[in-house]
Protein backbone atom coordinates (compact mmCIF):
# COMPACT_ATOMS: atom_id res chain seq x y z
CA UNK A 1 0.00 0.00 0.00
CA UNK A 2 2.84 2.34 0.80
CA UNK A 3 4.52 1.70 -2.55
CA UNK A 4 1.22 2.11 -4.37
CA UNK A 5 0.67 5.46 -2.65
CA UNK A 6 4.15 6.55 -3.67
CA UNK A 7 3.57 5.47 -7.28
CA UNK A 8 0.35 7.52 -7.40
CA UNK A 9 2.48 10.66 -7.11
CA UNK A 10 4.75 9.64 -9.97
CA UNK A 11 4.75 9.05 -13.70
CA UNK A 12 5.87 5.51 -14.37
CA UNK A 13 5.58 3.30 -17.41
CA UNK A 14 7.11 0.12 -15.88
CA UNK A 15 10.45 0.67 -17.59
CA UNK A 16 12.86 3.05 -15.88
CA UNK A 17 12.42 4.81 -12.56
CA UNK A 18 9.23 6.52 -11.38
CA UNK A 19 9.36 10.28 -11.97
CA UNK A 20 7.83 12.42 -9.21
CA UNK A 21 4.92 14.57 -10.49
CA UNK A 22 3.21 15.45 -7.21
CA UNK A 23 -0.57 15.80 -7.45
CA UNK A 24 -0.66 15.80 -11.24
CA UNK A 25 -2.28 12.34 -11.47
CA UNK A 26 -5.07 13.39 -9.13
CA UNK A 27 -5.64 16.62 -11.09
CA UNK A 28 -5.82 14.52 -14.22
CA UNK A 29 -8.38 12.22 -12.58
CA UNK A 30 -10.59 15.17 -11.63
CA UNK A 31 -10.48 16.42 -15.24
CA UNK A 32 -10.90 12.99 -16.83
CA UNK A 33 -14.47 12.72 -18.24
CA UNK A 34 -14.33 8.93 -17.99
CA UNK A 35 -13.76 8.94 -14.20
CA UNK A 36 -17.29 10.08 -13.19
CA UNK A 37 -18.67 7.64 -15.78
CA UNK A 38 -17.01 4.55 -14.30
CA UNK A 39 -17.60 5.69 -10.71
CA UNK A 40 -21.28 6.24 -11.52
CA UNK A 41 -21.57 2.82 -13.15
CA UNK A 42 -19.95 1.15 -10.15
CA UNK A 43 -22.15 2.94 -7.62
CA UNK A 44 -25.32 2.16 -9.61
CA UNK A 45 -24.31 -1.47 -9.77
CA UNK A 46 -23.75 -1.48 -6.01
CA UNK A 47 -27.15 0.12 -5.34
CA UNK A 48 -28.74 -2.76 -7.23
CA UNK A 49 -26.66 -5.66 -5.96
CA UNK A 50 -26.18 -4.88 -2.25
CA UNK A 51 -29.87 -4.55 -1.22
CA UNK A 52 -31.06 -7.31 -3.56
CA UNK A 53 -28.39 -9.80 -2.46
CA UNK A 54 -28.94 -8.98 1.21
CA UNK A 55 -32.69 -9.54 1.00
CA UNK A 56 -32.30 -12.70 -1.10
CA UNK A 57 -29.71 -14.16 1.27
CA UNK A 58 -31.86 -13.32 4.31
CA UNK A 59 -34.87 -15.00 2.71
CA UNK A 60 -32.76 -18.08 1.92
CA UNK A 61 -31.45 -18.21 5.50
CA UNK A 62 -34.92 -17.93 7.01
CA UNK A 63 -36.13 -20.65 4.64
CA UNK A 64 -33.39 -23.19 5.41
CA UNK A 65 -33.35 -22.44 9.15
CA UNK A 66 -36.55 -24.43 9.59
CA UNK A 67 -36.79 -28.10 10.49
CA UNK A 68 -38.04 -29.95 7.45
CA UNK A 69 -36.76 -32.83 5.34
CA UNK A 70 -35.43 -30.70 2.45
CA UNK A 71 -33.51 -28.11 4.48
CA UNK A 72 -30.09 -29.65 3.89
CA UNK A 73 -30.70 -30.01 0.16
CA UNK A 74 -31.93 -26.41 -0.01
CA UNK A 75 -28.77 -25.17 1.73
CA UNK A 76 -26.65 -27.02 -0.81
CA UNK A 77 -28.62 -25.67 -3.77
CA UNK A 78 -28.51 -22.08 -2.51
CA UNK A 79 -24.80 -22.18 -1.69
CA UNK A 80 -23.62 -24.14 -4.75
CA UNK A 81 -23.21 -21.16 -7.14
CA UNK A 82 -20.67 -19.59 -4.78
CA UNK A 83 -18.15 -22.37 -5.39
CA UNK A 84 -18.33 -22.02 -9.19
CA UNK A 85 -15.62 -19.96 -10.90
CA UNK A 86 -16.73 -16.47 -11.88
CA UNK A 87 -15.74 -17.17 -15.49
CA UNK A 88 -18.22 -20.04 -15.64
CA UNK A 89 -20.88 -17.92 -13.96
CA UNK A 90 -20.35 -15.15 -16.48
CA UNK A 91 -20.50 -17.43 -19.52
CA UNK A 92 -23.62 -19.22 -18.26
CA UNK A 93 -25.41 -15.95 -17.62
CA UNK A 94 -24.39 -14.53 -21.00
CA UNK A 95 -26.28 -17.45 -22.50
CA UNK A 96 -29.22 -17.12 -20.11
CA UNK A 97 -29.57 -13.39 -20.80
CA UNK A 98 -29.13 -13.54 -24.58
CA UNK A 99 -31.69 -11.21 -26.15
CA UNK A 100 -32.98 -13.61 -28.79
CA UNK A 101 -32.19 -17.11 -27.54
CA UNK A 102 -31.66 -16.71 -23.78
CA UNK A 103 -33.65 -18.91 -21.44
CA UNK A 104 -34.87 -15.95 -19.36
CA UNK A 105 -36.29 -14.14 -22.37
CA UNK A 106 -37.87 -17.40 -23.51
CA UNK A 107 -39.79 -17.61 -20.22
CA UNK A 108 -40.64 -13.90 -20.32
CA UNK A 109 -41.88 -14.30 -23.88
CA UNK A 110 -44.12 -17.18 -22.80
CA UNK A 111 -45.65 -14.78 -20.28
CA UNK A 112 -46.23 -12.16 -22.96
CA UNK A 113 -43.26 -9.96 -22.08
CA UNK A 114 -41.17 -8.75 -25.05
CA UNK A 115 -37.50 -9.63 -25.21
CA UNK A 116 -35.34 -7.63 -22.81
CA UNK A 117 -31.89 -6.59 -24.14
CA UNK A 118 -30.19 -7.47 -20.84
CA UNK A 119 -26.60 -7.13 -22.01
CA UNK A 120 -26.91 -5.10 -25.21
CA UNK A 121 -28.81 -2.02 -24.04
CA UNK A 122 -27.09 0.60 -21.85
CA UNK A 123 -30.27 1.03 -19.83
CA UNK A 124 -30.45 -2.68 -18.96
CA UNK A 125 -26.87 -3.91 -18.86
CA UNK A 126 -26.17 -3.24 -15.16
CA UNK A 127 -29.37 -5.08 -14.23
CA UNK A 128 -28.29 -8.07 -16.32
CA UNK A 129 -24.88 -8.24 -14.68
CA UNK A 130 -26.50 -7.72 -11.28
CA UNK A 131 -28.69 -10.81 -11.78
CA UNK A 132 -25.60 -12.96 -12.24
CA UNK A 133 -23.87 -11.38 -9.24
CA UNK A 134 -26.88 -11.85 -6.95
CA UNK A 135 -27.18 -15.50 -7.95
CA UNK A 136 -23.46 -15.97 -7.34
CA UNK A 137 -23.10 -14.08 -4.03
CA UNK A 138 -26.36 -14.85 -2.20
CA UNK A 139 -25.21 -18.28 -1.00
CA UNK A 140 -22.21 -16.97 0.93
CA UNK A 141 -24.27 -14.21 2.56
CA UNK A 142 -26.91 -16.82 3.42
CA UNK A 143 -24.32 -18.76 5.43
CA UNK A 144 -23.51 -15.67 7.50
CA UNK A 145 -27.19 -14.98 8.16
CA UNK A 146 -27.80 -18.63 8.99
CA UNK A 147 -25.02 -18.55 11.59
CA UNK A 148 -26.63 -15.45 13.09
CA UNK A 149 -30.07 -17.06 13.17
CA UNK A 150 -28.76 -20.15 14.92
CA UNK A 151 -27.20 -17.97 17.62
CA UNK A 152 -30.60 -16.49 18.53
CA UNK A 153 -32.01 -18.37 21.55
CA UNK A 154 -35.19 -20.24 20.67
CA UNK A 155 -36.63 -19.26 24.05
CA UNK A 156 -36.93 -15.63 22.96
CA UNK A 157 -39.04 -16.47 19.93
CA UNK A 158 -41.12 -19.02 21.80
CA UNK A 159 -41.81 -16.56 24.62
CA UNK A 160 -42.93 -13.93 22.13
CA UNK A 161 -45.23 -16.40 20.40
CA UNK A 162 -46.73 -17.43 23.74
CA UNK A 163 -47.42 -13.75 24.40
CA UNK A 164 -49.37 -13.58 21.16
CA UNK A 165 -46.78 -12.18 18.76
CA UNK A 166 -47.23 -13.09 15.10
CA UNK A 167 -44.42 -14.52 12.98
CA UNK A 168 -43.92 -11.12 11.39
CA UNK A 169 -43.72 -9.42 14.78
CA UNK A 170 -41.17 -11.98 15.97
CA UNK A 171 -39.11 -11.33 12.84
CA UNK A 172 -39.47 -7.57 13.16
CA UNK A 173 -38.80 -7.11 16.87
CA UNK A 174 -36.59 -10.08 17.83
CA UNK A 175 -34.87 -11.72 14.86
CA UNK A 176 -33.83 -8.66 12.85
CA UNK A 177 -32.42 -6.67 15.80
CA UNK A 178 -30.36 -9.67 16.92
CA UNK A 179 -29.17 -10.21 13.35
CA UNK A 180 -27.66 -6.73 13.17
CA UNK A 181 -24.01 -7.93 13.53
CA UNK A 182 -24.53 -10.43 10.70
CA UNK A 183 -26.33 -7.80 8.62
CA UNK A 184 -23.48 -5.35 9.13
CA UNK A 185 -20.92 -7.95 8.05
CA UNK A 186 -22.90 -8.97 4.97
CA UNK A 187 -23.50 -5.38 3.90
CA UNK A 188 -19.85 -4.46 4.42
CA UNK A 189 -18.56 -7.41 2.38
CA UNK A 190 -21.07 -6.78 -0.40
CA UNK A 191 -20.26 -3.07 -0.60
CA UNK A 192 -16.54 -3.78 -0.83
CA UNK A 193 -17.18 -6.49 -3.43
CA UNK A 194 -19.40 -4.32 -5.63
CA UNK A 195 -17.08 -1.32 -5.55
CA UNK A 196 -14.20 -3.46 -6.80
CA UNK A 197 -16.23 -5.53 -9.27
CA UNK A 198 -14.26 -6.64 -12.32
CA UNK A 199 -14.54 -10.30 -13.32
CA UNK A 200 -18.29 -10.47 -13.97
CA UNK A 201 -18.23 -7.36 -16.13
CA UNK A 202 -15.05 -8.37 -17.94
CA UNK A 203 -16.48 -11.77 -18.87
CA UNK A 204 -20.06 -10.73 -19.64
CA UNK A 205 -19.76 -7.37 -21.41
CA UNK A 206 -16.13 -6.15 -21.28
CA UNK A 207 -17.54 -2.82 -20.17
CA UNK A 208 -20.02 -2.40 -23.01
CA UNK A 209 -22.24 -1.46 -24.59
CA UNK A 210 -20.87 2.08 -25.03
CA UNK A 211 -19.00 1.79 -21.70
CA UNK A 212 -22.34 1.58 -19.88
CA UNK A 213 -21.03 -1.21 -17.63
CA UNK A 214 -17.38 -0.18 -17.32
CA UNK A 215 -16.36 -0.25 -13.64
CA UNK A 216 -13.61 1.54 -11.77
CA UNK A 217 -11.42 -1.56 -11.64
CA UNK A 218 -11.86 -2.10 -15.38
CA UNK A 219 -10.65 1.44 -16.04
CA UNK A 220 -7.70 0.97 -13.68
CA UNK A 221 -6.88 -2.30 -15.46
CA UNK A 222 -6.96 -0.57 -18.84
CA UNK A 223 -4.83 2.36 -17.72
CA UNK A 224 -2.31 0.28 -15.78
CA UNK A 225 -1.99 -2.98 -17.70
CA UNK A 226 -2.83 -1.98 -21.26
CA UNK A 227 -1.57 1.60 -21.49
CA UNK A 228 1.15 1.12 -18.83
CA UNK A 229 0.46 4.40 -17.04
CA UNK A 230 1.06 2.96 -13.60
CA UNK A 231 1.22 6.31 -11.81
CA UNK A 232 -2.22 7.33 -13.00
CA UNK A 233 -3.60 3.83 -12.34
CA UNK A 234 -2.21 3.96 -8.79
CA UNK A 235 -3.87 7.34 -8.23
CA UNK A 236 -7.22 5.93 -9.38
CA UNK A 237 -6.70 2.93 -7.09
CA UNK A 238 -6.04 5.23 -4.15
CA UNK A 239 -9.23 7.15 -4.94
CA UNK A 240 -11.16 3.86 -5.06
CA UNK A 241 -9.67 2.87 -1.69
CA UNK A 242 -10.86 6.18 -0.22
CA UNK A 243 -14.33 5.63 -1.73
CA UNK A 244 -14.60 2.15 -0.22
CA UNK A 245 -13.40 3.46 3.15
CA UNK A 246 -15.95 6.29 3.24
CA UNK A 247 -18.91 4.27 1.96
CA UNK A 248 -18.18 1.39 4.35
CA UNK A 249 -17.80 3.74 7.32
CA UNK A 250 -21.13 5.41 6.51
CA UNK A 251 -22.86 2.03 6.11
CA UNK A 252 -21.51 0.71 9.41
CA UNK A 253 -22.51 3.95 11.16
CA UNK A 254 -26.04 3.75 9.75
CA UNK A 255 -26.48 0.14 10.86
CA UNK A 256 -25.10 0.92 14.31
CA UNK A 257 -27.58 3.74 14.97
CA UNK A 258 -30.54 2.19 13.17
CA UNK A 259 -33.61 1.54 15.31
CA UNK A 260 -35.81 -1.31 14.17
29 touches 13 (CB < 8 A): no
231 touches 25 (CB < 8 A): yes
Please give the pLDDT value at position 257.
53
Instruction: Please give the mean pLDDT across all residues of the chain.
Output: 91
CA distance 98 to 211: 19
The per-residue pLDDT for range 34-71, each reduced to its tens digit, is 999 999 999 999 999 999 999 999 999 999 988 777 88
Is residue 205 scored above 70 in pLDDT?
Answer: yes
Q: What percent of the chain has pLDDT over 70?
A: 98
Is residue 186 scored above 90 in pLDDT?
Answer: yes
- Global pTM? 0.91
Please give the pLDDT value at position 96.
95
Is residue 231 scored above 90 in pLDDT?
Answer: yes
Q: What percent of the chain has pLDDT over 90?
A: 73
Is residue 260 scored above 70 in pLDDT?
Answer: no
In this prediction, residues 209-215 reach a mean pLDDT of 94
CA 61 to chain CA centroid, Å, is 19
Q: Which residues contact 144 (CB under 8 A, 6 or more apart)?
A: 57, 182, 185, 186
In this prediction, residues 69-86 reach a mean pLDDT of 89
182 touches 144 (CB < 8 A): yes
Domains defined along the chain, listed by start: 2-257 (1.10.3720.10)
Please give the pLDDT value at position 169.
87
Is residue 88 scored above 80 in pLDDT?
Answer: yes
Please give the pLDDT value at position 14.
79
Is residue 162 scored above 90 in pLDDT?
Answer: no
φ and ψ at residue 10, rounded to 5 degrees: -130, 170
Is residue 114 scored above 50 in pLDDT?
Answer: yes
Please give the pLDDT value at position 70.
81
Tell me which residue of 180, 209, 169, 157 sits closest to 41, measured CA to CA.
Answer: 209
Run of H or E residues at 16? strand 15-20
In this prediction, residues 221-236 reach a mean pLDDT of 95
Amino acid sequence: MGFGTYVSFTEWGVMGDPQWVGLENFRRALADPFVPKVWGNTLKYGLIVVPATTLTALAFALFVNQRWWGATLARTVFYAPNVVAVTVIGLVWVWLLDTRFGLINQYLGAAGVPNVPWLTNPAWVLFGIALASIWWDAGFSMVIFLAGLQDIPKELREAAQVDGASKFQVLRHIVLPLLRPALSLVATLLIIGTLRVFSQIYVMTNGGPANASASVIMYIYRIGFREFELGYAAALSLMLFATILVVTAVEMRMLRVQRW
